[in-house]
């Protein structure tokens, strides 16, 4: 080998490499946030759907919670694949569907 194993490639300046590393970490953090938030909202929606289905709520209420939870699951899937903007919009839509279902209660 010509040098240490952890040396930087000769064509990349240190400041540019650090900026690239920061962008990679930001993207990874955004994926984890979108995935985790989607999973958490999906679990909350499913729990609310189960609780409302067991009670005396109209059938539309648990269906809205379940549908909103399904949208949040899709958002979590998209977020884990790096589609964080679409995941954010789906998370908003899923929560809005759940909130709308809550209005019928």
Residue 1 has pLDDT above 50, yes or no: no
pLDDT at 12: 67
pLDDT tens by residue, 19-69: 888 888 988 998 999 999 999 999 999 999 999 999 888 889 999 999 999
Residue 31 vs residues 12, 61, 83: alpha-carbon distances, Å: 27, 30, 8
Distance CA(81)–CA(83), nearest Å, equals 6
**Residue positions counted in the chain:** 105
Least-confidence region, from 8-12, 75-79, 81-85, 95-99: 8-12
If you average pLDDT over every residue of the chain, what do you get? 87
pLDDT at 20: 80
């Amino acid at each position: 080998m010509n040098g240490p194993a952890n040396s930087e490639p000769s064509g990349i300046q240190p400041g540019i490499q650090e900026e690239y590393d920061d962008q990679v970490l930001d993207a990874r953090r955004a994926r984890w946030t979108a995935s985790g938030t989607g999973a958490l909202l999906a679990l909350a929606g499913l729990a609310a759907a189960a609780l409302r289905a067991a009670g005396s709520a109209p059938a539309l209420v648990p269906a809205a919670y379940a549908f909103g939870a399904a949208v949040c699951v899709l958002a979590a899937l998209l977020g884990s694949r790096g589609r964080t903007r679409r995941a954010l919009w789906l998370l908003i839509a899923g929560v809005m569907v759940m909130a709308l279902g809550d209005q019928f209660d």
